[in-house]
Amino acid sequence: MAKPIALECRGITKTFGRVVANKNCDLEVYHGEILAILGENGSGKTTLMNMVAGIYFPDEGRIFINGEEVTIASPKDAFAYKIGMIHQHFKLVDLFSATENIILGLEEQKKYNLKVAEEKVDEICHKYGFEIDPRKKIYNMSVSEKQTVEIIKVLYRGADILILDEPTAVLTPQETQKLFAVLRRMRDDGKCIIIITHKLHEVLSLSGRVTVLRKGEYIGTVNTAETTESQLTEMMVGKKITLNIDRAEPQNVTDRLEVQHISSVDALGNTVLDDISFTARSGEILGIAGIAGSGQREMLEAIAGLHHLTGGDIYYHNPKTGQIDDLRNKTPIQIRDLGVRLSFVPEDRLGMGLVGNMDIVDNMMLRSYRKGRGMFLHRREPKDLAEHIIHDLQVVTPGASTPVRHLSGGNVQKVLVGREIAASPTVLMAAYPVRGLDVNASYTIYNLLNQQKERGTAVIFVGEDLDVLLELCDRIMVINGGRIAGIVDGRTARKDEIGLLMTKSQEKEDALHGEN
Amino acid sequence: MAKTEKTLAPLVHIVKRDPGSVTWKYRLLVRAIAVLAALLLSGILITLLTKKNPLAVYGSMVSGVFGSPRRIWNMLQGVAMLLCVSLAVTPAFKMKFWNIGAEGQVLISGLACVATMMFLGSALPTGLLILVMVAVSILAGTIWAVLPAIFKAYWNTNETLFTLMMNYVATQLVDYFLKVFVKDGSGVLTPMPQFGLPVIGNQAYLLNVLIVAVVTVLAYIYLKYSKQGYEISVVGESENTARYIGINVKKVIIRTMLLSGAICGLAGLLLVGGTNHTISTTTAGGRGFTAIMVSWLGKFDPLYMVLTSFLLVFLDQGAQQVSTDFRISSSISDIVIGIILLFIIGCEFFLQYRVVTRKNRKENV
Amino acid sequence: MVAFLVSAIRLGMSLLLGSTGETITEKVGHLNLGIPGIMCVGAACGCYAEYLYFKAVGVAVVPILAIIIPLIAALIGGALMGLLFSFLTITLRANQNMTGLAITTLGIGLSEYIINEATTIFTKGSKYFTAPLIPFTDRLGVFGDLVLEYGVFVYLALAIAIVTTYVLNKTRVGLHLRAVGENPATADAAGINVSKYRYVATCIGCAIAGLGGLAFIMDYLKGNWEYCVDTIGWLAIALVIFTVWNPTIAIFGSVAFGALYVASSYIPGVSFAGKALFKMLPYVVTLLVLIITSMRKKREHQPPQSLGLSYFREER
């Protein structure tokens, strides 16, 4: 390597309580290269980089910048060593302009002058090909623009080492391409760029070398040019693991929920759902795959009556009456009054599905408290249900009167899923139900979903782990940028086929639509 | 590794307590220490100002509250009125709706009540008059409370500032009508005990105390056992969850503030129709603000609030007695209450956070 | 007419000081409902200092000292109350509404106690504050009366309001300060010491508000103590909302408020009772502004985003 070494980590270890986030990790990056750090969710990529950026302090290990050992105890120290990190959650003041955010916190000797700063921002934009108005307020910006501001913020501080934490998670394919072009230009300018990702195609198209982490441990580093997708996958997930999730043949499949051409926009007027049509059938698990933020949440919330649609219809085939009802833009109460037994396990468990400060019994009541006559609550049934769930699903808790906030993630999810299933739903929607859960708890959830399928529920499962989707679901619908990219058979589809549908640019189709 | 030495953990570091680890014994201990420390500090302060024996000062406080049947009744009346206003603000607070407008809600209903007494007093038979007084007072309180709620629900208008402004609008309205009603221009309205609420048991304050006792129990049941009370808790904890289970958040906000206003209306009725039989701009006497403290210190639980309102009334009345006995400014009562409140507010820190010094951090690791 | 405007301006300036102080604390995210109490304490400290000074020197009064000493006392009184508020809300992370209300109770009590130790008549000292700062203005006719013939407080208030606007909007410190109030987590990540900014801004804001209390007594009331400084404090909080957190707009807003407050005494034909309605107007227009801005949802006119919230770094 002719290029000088920029950053080197040796034997980094970090533990949080009993959880080992990083164990003896090594890393080296050169100036003028793009290094990808690849790993599954929870493999310790972000933690490792947070230590370089001064957010956490390592328990053990040494960090070298340009060959010299350094101590990075705060983000300020990191800046001093010209390290800048762009986090997944942007840290921007909404009310400020781009430039104001960019210069925030800087203690320059020069007099404060917004004009000069704006010019300097323009200069950086020009140099690397960003398109942004330095005077535009953050609250008027798209996600991609906000990310651009974060990157410029780091560059403005003269960073030589840029760390990007899953930068494409929130971007459209076109925006991703634009970002990559910018990153390549920065690389050519001699910057050292580290990109954290779990998407193979990004690694292959962008990086010069790849470092792979698995479960907090350093697995190895390879040159991108000399590697293949399957080699990387193997490094990332270890040897091919069969998950052994049971999958019964669907029985008595009938149409239950018919979604037709639904569309919607967000508060800023951007399209989030674009002409989505599909049918969920009883006795079947329909998987939903897609990059985070492709419209999964809005789609489920629209069905549950929580997200306003601008167009389309949602028909529910009532198995009892044989009637077909349109659920479009009905409130959750109206939907329930129609006799639709719809259960929904939302992504945000403690912020939406449950109330953290309430105990298990009171959380059971969330769905059922209206039942019964009079103005008073009936706590007996929910109490029985709570004890039932604690027993059946082996929820680890001191008792039914413990606030759910005190439970671990897996137990919280058991409480939530248990409650939703207890309503014996005809449609069960679950968004990322195993996120953050350990293996045992995950299998408990898979089993519960399968049981529901077998008793004739139409299950909609939004997942992020393609292996799980492929082993659990009967059909998999892939959404991409608020649109359906394809619906494949869960038994025959290949992983890379789905990956491609999730990520492929839809520009061509856009062009076609334009002609029509 | 020599270099890492200098960037050890900070000297003192504050960490959030695991809420499960805080026992009720610890809670009680911390709060008791805070109250005692504040009492001690106030005692020292008063002693310094009066140069009298501190024990005599505390003795004077106790005698000011329990020294005679009249004082005890005054205390009971004080507790009842403060508690009534506190009960009014509690449902809203539980919903995280910062209603600091109880003062205005009480005043405006008092005004409505006094107007009824003035203009209909001699025209209606007693029974009917009382009914009208009740209805009009409660109606006035609800209107004053529901306005900010509507704007909060539909336009997310800051309710703290809204209710604060409404207080002063109410105060000035009372001022205005006092000047209109009172022809001699003194602005002091002669009491009209002949049109007041009935006196039972020959005790002027007994009716008030009984009514508030009933309201306390009802409020406790409402908040803890009713469906509406449950909805209030859910909305207060997480609006998103409320939406998810189909609660109409706007409706709950407005309904809860209607209730809040109605209880304030009741307080206005009891103060004007049941006690003073007249009104002035200070009839509410800052209870709207003190009630916020009572409710918050009592953790929004009506039964605890009986204790917290007693504490505040005890301090107020006791300090007044001290100021009379030792001939110091009556403002001492405000000072003592301010000190106690600040101590109690401050002590919450020790319930929610833990201070870790560098030394004991090492031991932990 | 001139007398009316002059009176409105003089009342307005004590409101302006109070609201500028409150604006500064609100900009760093502190809804300080203790301002009324703090203004009381500021006024009382200033008056007490004047009382002590006069008692000490007898007739040999140095005019400049008669102004400076109360000013400093008011500043210190306000700042100390601000420090107490900051300690509770920043270090102990106490609820701001509660702390503010308790501070107001304490402040009113303290100020009354202090005044009872002295006297309620400060007309002798007031002379030095109301004496026109610029000489020979009485020869300039109406213009001079209206624009130039004020004591030190009017110019002080104007200067403080203008400097505050400048600092908030045109300097790095101001940028950091606003960032702390809008989004403390972001400010923290950018390397800004959130606690330090909150402490300093709150104490400065409270000191300025303390001056406002003194201005009310010494300038507007011409040295006759009245137990109503706290009402001016609440009016000052209203003014902050009315002027959408901008001290320069507050210059005009404060005069408008002052005018509404004193109008009844100068407009012929207003009944005795009508005065009370006039005094209600500032609150009503503030309500209207609050409602209209919340309906228009213009981001620049909303309260600072983290107003009323304590910040704890490790909370997620």
Q: Is residue B59 part of a domain?
A: no
- Domain membership of residue B170 (yes or no) is yes
| B48 and B155 fall within a common domain | no
Asked whether residue C243 carries a pLDDT value surpassing 90, the answer given is no
C-beta of residue C122 within 8 angstroms of C-beta of residue C215: no
C41: closest chain B residue by CA = B335
User: Does B317 reside within a domain?
Assistant: no
Q: Would you say residue B196 lies in a domain?
A: yes
Q: Which residues from A are below 8 Å from B240, CB to CB? A: 348, 351-352
Say if the Cβ atoms of A94 and C176 lie within 8 Å. Answer: no
**Segments in A227-273 forming alpha helices (H):** 229-237
Q: Would you put residue A282 in left (φ > 0), alpha (ψ -120 to 50) or beta?
A: beta
Same domain, A185 and A147: yes
Chain C touched by B75 (CB under 8 Å): no
Check whether residue B15 and residue B129 sit in a common domain. Answer: no
Residue A241: the pLDDT is: 55
Q: What is the pLDDT of residues A180-239, one digit of tens each?
A: 999 999 999 889 999 998 777 778 888 999 998 887 889 889 999 998 877 777 777 665
- Considering the domain architecture, whether residues B303 and B349 belong to the same structural domain is answered as no
- The subunits that touch chain A, with at least 3 C-beta pairs less than 8 Å apart, are B, C
ipTM of the complex: 0.84
How far B4 CA sits from the closest chain A CA (Å)?
6
Q: Indicate if A226 and A279 belong to the same structural domain.
A: no
Burial of B11 per CB tally in 10 Å (0-12, 13-18, 19+): exposed
Residue B61 lies in a domain: no
Calculate how close chain B gets to A304, using CA atoms only, in Å. Answer: 8
Residue B349 forms contact with C (CB below 8 Å): yes
CB-CB contact of B101 with B145 (8 Å): yes
In B, minimum Cα distance to C92 occurs at: B349
B19 and B150 inside one domain: no
Residue-level pLDDT at A243: 66
- To test the contact with chain B by mutation, choose from A360, A376, A429 the residue with the greatest count of B C-beta atoms within 10 A, namely A376
Count CA within 13 A, CB hemisphere, residue A398.
Answer: 9
Cβ distance of C280 and B176 shorter than 8 Å: yes
Residue B74 within a domain:
yes
Residue B38 shares a structural domain with residue B173: no
Does residue B237 form part of some domain?
yes
Directed axis angle between helix B249-269 and helix B126-155, to 10°?
150
B210 vs B50, more confident: B210
Query: What are A266-300's pLDDT values in tens digits?
Result: 876 778 899 999 999 999 999 998 877 788 999 99
At residue A55, does pLDDT exceed 60?
Answer: yes
Contacts of A304 in chain B (CB under 8 A): 244
B8 vs A220, higher pLDDT: A220
Residues A437 and A385 in one domain: yes
pLDDT digits (tens, 9 = 90+) for A70-107: 988 887 888 889 999 998 888 888 889 999 999 888 87
Which is nearest to C95 in space by CA: B296, B160, B152?
A: B296
Alpha helices, DSSP H only, in A189-286? 200-206, 229-237
Say whether residue B19 is in contact with chain A using an 8 A CB cutoff: yes
Asked whether residue B132 falls in the same domain as residue B249, the answer is: yes
Q: Confidence class of residue A377 from pLDDT cuts 50, 70 and 90?
A: confident
Whether residues B162 and B233 share a domain: the answer is yes
- Residue at A381 is within a domain: yes
> Does one domain contain both B188 and B154?
yes
Looking at A237, A269, A285, the residue that finishes a domain is: A237
Give the integer Cα–Cα distance in Å for A473 and A459.
9
CA dist C219 and B89 (Å) reads 39
Task: Judge whether A118 is closer than 8 Å to chain C, CB to CB.
Answer: no
Does B14 contact chain C (CB < 8 Å)? yes
C276: contact with B, CB 8 A cutoff = yes
The pLDDT, as a whole number, for residue C262 is 82
Whether B73 and B203 map to the same domain: the answer is yes
> Residue A508: is its pLDDT beyond 50?
no
The answer to the question of residue A67 being in a domain is yes
> Cβ separation of C178 and A76 shorter than 8 Å?
no
Give the domain range for residue A417.
255-515
* Best CA proximity match to B211, nearest among B157, B142, B130: B130
Is B286 in contact with C295 (Cβ distance < 8 A)? no
Please answer yes or no on whether B243 and A57 come within 8 Å at the CB atom.
no
CA distance C101 to chain B (A): 7
325-344 in chain B: CB under 8 A from chain C: 328-339, 341-342
CATH assignment at residue C288: 1.10.3470
Neighbours of chain B (3+ CB pairs under 8 A): A, C
Is the same domain home to A233 and A267?
Answer: no
Minimal-distance CA residue of chain A relative to B241: A352
Per-residue pLDDT, averaged over B142-168, amounts to 91
Distance between C178 CA and the closest CA of chain A, angstroms: 9
Better-predicted residue by pLDDT, A15 or A293: A15
Query: Are A204 and A333 members of one domain?
Result: no
Q: For chain B, say whether C145 makes contact (Cβ under 8 Å).
A: no
- Predicted confidence at residue B211, as pLDDT, reads 94
SS3 readout for B271-284 = HHHHHHCCCCCCCC
Which residue type sits at A256? Answer: R
Contact B158 C97 (CB under 8 A): no
In a domain, A244, yes or no: no
Note whether B130 and B262 are same-domain residues: yes
Distance of alpha carbon B65 from alpha carbon B54, whole angstroms = 17
Range of the domain at C193: 2-315
Residue numbers of the domain that contains B164: 69-311
Whether residue A332 and residue B18 make contact (CB cut-off 8 A), yes or no, is: no
**Residue B25 and residue B77 in one domain:** no
Would you place residue B4 in the very low, low, confident or very high pLDDT band (cuts 50, 70, 90)?
A: very low
CA distance A440 to chain C (A): 27
Q: How many domains does chain A have?
A: 2
- Residue B26 and residue B83 in one domain: no
Same domain? For A419 and A310 the reply is yes
Mutation target vs C (from A88, A104, A112; most C CBs, 10 A cutoff): A104
Q: Do A41 and A179 have their domain in common?
A: yes
The reply to whether A356 touches chain C by the CB within 8 Å rule is: no
Of residues A242 and B291, more confidence is placed in B291
Cβ contacts of A137 on chain C, cutoff 8 Å = 299
How many domains, in total, are found in chain C? 1
Whether residue B163 is contained in a domain is answered as: yes
Q: Has this prediction a pTM greater than 0.90?
A: no
* Within a domain: A245: no
